[in-house]
Amino acid sequence: MPIVHRNIPSLSSLITFESAARLGNLTRAADELCVSPTAASKQIKKLEEFLNTQLFIRSKQGVTLTAKGEEYLGYVTEALELLSATSSKMDDSHDVVPLNVEIGSCFSHFWLLPRLDDFRNRHPDILLNLVTNNERHVGDNSDYDVAFFYSSMDSVNKNNHLMFAERIVLVCSPAFEKKYPHCSDVNQLWQLPILQLKEPLSFWEGWETWATLYGVELQTPENVIQVEDQVSVIHAAVNDAGIALAWDWQVRDLLESGQLVAITEPVDFNKNAFFLSISEQSQHPASQLFVDWVIGAERRFTHGV
């Protein structure tokens, strides 16, 4: 079926709309697009007349989106990003530039790699360069396009997208639970084999903060197995070695497959969370596409769609 062009607004009006919505100000949008404020205002007015709906609420402080404007912005942003990425791929004068994605080992092992084939099927022309870094801090934007990091909840902004809220659960293997049927009794927890990081990261939640929030008296475990990283902690638990403290998203697939069982209810921490960040220095057209795919894949998994 041919595209009915009369039902598509002008590209310049869509670009102006996206800029004004992102910046919250028509004058700043005009500066960004190198046009006059009057010209930018006319583009928005033309778009609203074309759509027969109000997209912005105007005030002395700037512009804010209406409910319909918020909805339309999602479609416009997706369309512009797709057009940008596709246009970049049409340029025969440049080699393919990899999208530099910096990720934690757990996000890589337990979430990204099992789902990466879906991204490759959707975007076969995007070259990914995956780099592992468990100590990425928000604001250090010099050497990546997209990064996965752990930070305080107030890190949410237009570049930092909340990926996982922080929920911690204690897990073990079914064989371990069978061997220690009292392992779900948190008052006897410290007498059982416990899995711990050899050098836990100071800014992560851990056994001490879990015990405080769960209301359990922290004791020195009698039987500790120390491992190098969180991936090893979870694999040790799968292999019947002991009880592991894990974030729920790390073990979700393992719980569903029956390789692990939860021996406590999840505990919600409201201080920190896990984010995907687009570097302010990134010029890669696929940065937002990758973030949108991750968030969409998580939403599809969570809601079963």
The confidence score (pLDDT) of residue 2 equals 53
Residue 203: pLDDT band with limits 50, 70, 90: low
What average pLDDT does this structure show over 18-38?
Answer: 88
What average pLDDT does this structure show over 278-293?
Answer: 87
- Give me the chain's average pLDDT, please: 85
Residue 132's DSSP bridge partners are 103
Residue 135: pLDDT band with limits 50, 70, 90: low
Residue 1: pLDDT band with limits 50, 70, 90: very low
What average pLDDT does this structure show over 111-138?
Answer: 85
CATH number for the domain formed by residue range(s) 5-89: 1.10.10.10
Domains in the chain: boundaries = 5-89, 98-305
Structure tokens at 203: 């800014």
Digit-coded pLDDT (tens) for 239-270: 999 999 999 999 999 999 999 999 999 988 87
The DSSP annotation for 174-226 comes to HHHHHH-TTTT-GGGGGGSEEEEESS--TTS--HHHHHHHHT------SEEEE
The confidence score (pLDDT) of residue 154 equals 75
CATH-assigned architecture of domain 98-305: 3-Layer(aba) Sandwich (3.40)
**Fold matches, 5-89 and 98-305:** no
Angle between helices 26-33 and 37-51 (to 10 degrees): 110
* Per-residue pLDDT at 9 exceeds 70: yes
**Residue 139 exposure: Cα atoms within 13 Å on the Cβ side:** 5
Mean pLDDT is lowest, of 49-58, 135-144, 179-188, 261-270, for: 135-144
Q: Is the CB of residue 240 less than 8 Å from the CB of residue 176? A: yes
Instruction: Give the residue, 82 or 49, on which the prediction is more confident.
Output: 49
